[in-house]
Structure 1
C-alpha cells in the first residue's frame, strides 16, 4: 500500500509539472511552443501574428532590444514598386500606420496638413493605407498588433551558432541561445536578415554573386559594362547617378601608385559576368530632422580619418559645372532625403560617394557576433564621419555645407543618445539554395512559378559592390544595377523551404532561395511581411497535418492564403 501511494504521489507530481509546462509554455530556461520564430524583423512579426491567428502557440525571439528590423530602424520610405500586390498582414500594417497618423496627437513637430510625402511609393488621396512613417510610429504599430495576439516576445537572446541547433531525425528539435536558454518547437522560422538559424541547421546557402552563366542571367555577376541589357532588353544604368566623376585618382598621393590605394579600392575587380563572394554595400537609413528643438547636430566621430573621405573631396573638385554632370556624378548633396512625418526624413545613399560603405561589409554574413559588432561600428563611424564632413569640412563646397548643417539626427527616435539607430541596412547576406531558386527569369516573367506564396514588384536592384582601378588608372564603382519595367511576379513556395533532406520543419522567408539579382528585387520589407505570413501559414498547416513543411497540398495552402487576404 505504501509503495502504491508513493507511486501515485510521484505520478501526480509529474502530471502537475507537465500541466504547468503545458499552460505556461516554459519551465526554468526551457521554453515550449508550436512555432518558434528567430528574428523579430518585419517578417518575423508578421509570422508571429499569423501563427497566433491560426491558433498556434508562438515565441518570437529577437536578438536585440528592438523589434521591427529596418521598418522600425529608419526605412520609412516603403520600397515596393506596385503596392496593389501587398495584402494580408502586410497591408494591415500600412492601414494601421494611416490610422496612427489620423490621430492629431501624433503630430508633434508639424501639423498633419503641412506634410506631403514625395517618395517613390506615395500615399494617394483617399487611400486607407499610408506608406511613409517615422521609425517610432512603426514600432508603436507593431507593438499594438502584437499585443492583440497571443505572442510571447523574447528580447536580447542570440542563437548559439556553433552548437545551438539540436536536430532529431531531420527536424529541428530545439535551439539554444548563447546564455543557455532553450526553445523547443514543432516548426521553426528563420526571419533574420543574416540567415543564422538556417546556416546553423546545415541548410545549403550561398553568399555573394553567382556568375551570369550559373542561372542564364545577365545582371548577376560582376558588372563592368556601363550599361547592361537583360534577356528581354531591360536597361540597367549602373553608371549614371551612382559613380564618381571620370578621372578621379585612386592613390593616396595623386598620380603615384607607389603611395598605395585609398581605403576600400581594389586593384583588380574580376572579370565581367563572373561570380565573386562580395556583397552589395550596407548603410544606415538615417532618420534626420531640421527642427531645431529635435535636432542633434552631426558629430565628428572619435578616430576620424580624413583619408576615408578623400575620394569625396576629389569628386567635388573634379566636377565641371554642367548641371547634367553634377546630377549624374554627385555634384550636389549625395543623399536621397525623403520626407517623413514630423519634419523627419528617411535618408538613403545616392551618387558615387555617399552613405553606402562600399567594401566594408564583405565579412559580415559569416562573421561572429563580435566581428559583426565591429563591422557595424565601422559603418556607423564611416557614416557619422561622412555627415560631419559634408556639414563642416572646408574642402566641401560651401552651398553643400550650408544645406547639410541644417540637418541632424532626431532626439526622439532611437535609444542611443546620439540619435543613431542600431539596425544596419543588411541589403543581403546569406541566401538559401533550395529546390527552387528565384532568378532573373522569374523577375522578367520568362518563368512563372505555379506555387506562389506572395508577389514581388520592385525592379532588380543592387547597390555597388566594390571600387576598383580601371584601365586608365582612375576609380570606378561597380555592381549597381537598376533594372525596371516588368510586371509584378509570383514567388515560389519552394523558395522559402529548404530541401526536404536537409530539414523538414524550417521555413526561411527572408534569406530565401534566390540569385543575387532576383533577391535584389524581392528584398523589400512589405514582401518580407507577406512571406513571413505565408511561412507561418505553412507552419501551422504542417503542424495540423503532421507533415513536413515541404509536403503540404498547395491547393489547400493557396485557399488559406487567399482567405486571409494575401495577394498571390
Structure 2
C-alpha cells in the first residue's frame, strides 16, 4: 500500500473512532440521570409530588413502574371516597377542579346529556358549582388531567421502570445516593420519595415496615387485629350457607375461596391483608358496551358459593354500580361474595415482580370469570341475569388493555414504622396529632380479610370494618418520614406510618394527593436547608403548606 493511501486509511480510522467514542459515551450517559428529587411511583401522589417540586423550582424525575399515571384515580376509582370535602386542599383540590372544568364543556358529555346525569356523589354532590369542583369522573378524564400536569410542568417521566429491589438502592452515611431499575437506568438525587402503593423503595432502603394486622394491644386500639363476627358493612353471609362441595358432607371438601384455617382470637395479630379487586368501569350504552369476556382461566365451580348466596334470597347485586358521567359506573365489591378475591393477596407486598404479576392475573381471571358466570350460567336468577347483560365493559376506557383497568386496587401492602404511627386514636379524635401536613376524614374502612367455616359449620367472612370518624383529623409529618437512623432523605406519602385500621381511613386517593404535595414541599425545604428530612423546620413547612391551600387541622385558617 502506498504511503499516501496508508495515511488516508489511518485518517479514516481516526475519524470513525472520533464518531464511535462519543456515541458510546452518550449511550452510557443515557443510563444515568440526575435531579434534586427522584420520585418512585406512578400514583396520584407521585404526580402531585412532582408538580409541587417543580413549583418550588426543584428538578424532579418520576420513575414510574407503570405506563399509565394516576394509580387508582385513573384506573376505575371515579366515585371518589371524599369524606368531608372541606379538608381536601392544594393540588388535590386542583385535580377535582380540573374534573369540574372538563365536564363544564359540552364535549365532556358524549353518551349522556349533562342534565340527565344527576348529582349523586359519595356523601357530597358530584358536581359542586359553588366550589367549582367535581368529585365523580370517568377513568380517562383522570388520566388526561394527570398527563396535563406532566405536560404543563415539563415533568420528566420514565415509564415501565421497575426498581431493582435487591441491588438497586445505594446508600451512603444514611442517605440514598441513587436508585437503579431493572433496565439498567440509574437515578441520582438529593431527596427521594416513595409514592408506590407497595412501598418497594422504602423496603429496599432498609426502612422498617409492617405487613398485616397488628394486635389491638400494640397501639391500644379497638378495631385492629382479627374481628370475627363483627359486621359493619353488610359484606357478610346473613344466612346459614353450607361451605362444602356436597352440602352436609365435610369429606367432599370446601368450595373454592373458603380457607381451611380459622381466625385467631378477636384483637390478635396476623399477617393477612384486606382483599384486593379491580374497580371496574361498566356501561349500559349499547354502542359503547363490550360483552363480558370469558377469562383466560375459567371454572364455573369457582362460583358455586355465589349460587348458594342467590338461592338464599340475596338480591343486592347492583347496589355498588355507582354512577359516573356518560352512563358508566365505578363498580366496587358489594355483599358476601363479590369482586373482592378474599384471601388471595397475602404474599403480594413481599412477592417478586413475577409473582405479583401472577397474583394480579389471578384476580383478573377471578373477576372476569365472576362477570362471565353471572352473565351466562343458567343458575343465576333470570331477572338479575337479564339486567346484568344490559351492562358490559366500556369500549372507550382502557383501550390498550382490553377495556380492563390498568391498576389492581392495592388497598394495603407495606406500611412504614416511623417515629410517629397514626392509629385509630388519631382518626377517631381521641388523640392530638403533632406537626400536621394534611387531613383525612373517611371512616375506618377495612374490606374482608378471610373467608372461613364457623364452629357451627357455616361459611363466613371476617375483617370488614366501618367505623365513622366523628370529625376530620390531621395527619402527622413524622408519619411520612422514616426514623433518622434508617434513612435521612426519604419521604413516604402512600405507605405511611400507620396501623392497619387507621390506614383504612387514610388510604383514600384525595389524601394520597395531599400527602404527595406535602412530601415534595418538605423535600424541597430539606434541600434548601441542607438538612435531613427529619430536621425540616416544621413552622416553615406549615407556612408553605398553608400558602399552597392545604388544610392542616380543624383550626386551620383555610
Matched, 1:304 2:306: no
Give, in angstroms, the shift of residue 342 of structure 1.
Answer: 1.2
In the alignment, which residue of structure 2 is the partner of 1:322?
none
Q: d(CA) in 2 for partners of 1:347 and 1:303?
A: 22
Deviation at 1:210, TM superposition (A): 0.3
Aligned to 2:541: 557
Contact preservation (8 Å) 1:432, 1:498: yes
Give the unaligned 5+ runs of structure 1. 1-16, 227-236, 320-329
Structure 1 residue 460 corresponds to structure 2 residue 438: no
Which structure 2 residues correspond to residues 409-488 of structure 1 after superposition, within 5 A? 409-416=393-400, 418-488=402-472
Identify which of 240, 243, 251 aligns with 2:236.
Answer: 243
Q: Which runs of 5+ in 2 are unaligned?
A: 1-21, 553-558
**CA apart distance, 1:106:** 2.1
Alpha-carbon distance, 1:118 to partner: 2.2
2:253 corresponds to which residue?
Answer: 260
Match of 2:364 in 1: 380
| Distance in 1, Cα, partners of 2:467 & 2:30 | 52
The offset of 1:225, in angstroms, is 3.5
Counterpart in the other structure of 2:4:
none
1:212 is the counterpart of 2:228: no
Paired residues for 1:62-461 under 5 Å: 62-120=64-122, 121-122=124-125, 123-226=127-230, 237-238=231-232, 241-267=234-260, 268-319=262-313, 330-333=314-317, 335-416=319-400, 418-461=402-445
Q: Equivalent residue of 2:265, what SS?
A: coil
Q: Which moved more, 1:173-182 or 1:149-158?
A: 149-158
Per mean C-alpha deviation after superposition, the further-off stretch among 468-477 and 297-306 is 297-306
2:11 maps to none
> Matches of 1:553 and 1:303 in 2, distance apart?
55
Change (3 A) 1:273 1:97: same
Q: Does the 8 Å CA contact 2:78/2:139 hold for their aligned counterparts?
A: yes
5 Å-filtered alignment, 1:481-560, equals: 481-560=465-544
Name the SS for the 1:366 alignment partner: coil
Q: What SS class does the counterpart of residue 533 from structure 2 fall into? A: coil
1:311-349 deviation per Cα after TM superposition (whole angstroms, max 9, x unaligned): 100111122xxxxxxxxxx42215501111111111111
Structure 2 CA distance for partners of 1:485 and 1:558, relative to 1, 3 Å:
closer
Q: TM-score under structure 1 normalisation?
A: 0.90
Which is further off, 41-50 or 97-106? 97-106
**CA drift at 1:482:** 0.5
Q: Distance in 1 between matches of 2:70 and 2:129?
A: 27
Distance 1:54 1:73 in 2: 29
Asked if the contact 1:210/1:274 (under 8 Å) is kept, the reply is: yes
Shift of 1:251: 1.2
Distance 1:485 1:553 in 2: 30
Query: SS of the counterpart of 1:424?
Result: coil
Q: 1:110 Cα deviation (Å)?
A: 1.3
Tell me what 2:14 maps to.
none
For residues 440-495 of structure 1, give each alpha carbon's deviation from its aligned partner in whole angstroms, at most 9, with x where no partner exists: 10011111112001000000000000001001100000000010141000000000
Q: Distance in 1 between matches of 2:67 and 2:275?
A: 25
Calculate the aligned-residue CA RMSD, in Å.
1.6
The question of whether the paired residues in 1 share the 8 Å contact of 2:438 and 2:550 is answered with yes
Q: Which 4+ stretches in 1 moved above 2 angstroms?
A: 121-127, 415-418
CA-to-aligned-CA distance 1:202-245 (integer Å, 9 cap, x gap): 1000001001111111101100143xxxxxxxxxx43x521123
Is the contact made by 1:335 and 1:349 (CA closer than 8 Å) also made in structure 2?
no
Contact between 1:445 and 1:486, CA under 8 Å: does it hold in 2? yes
SS in 2 for 1:555: helix
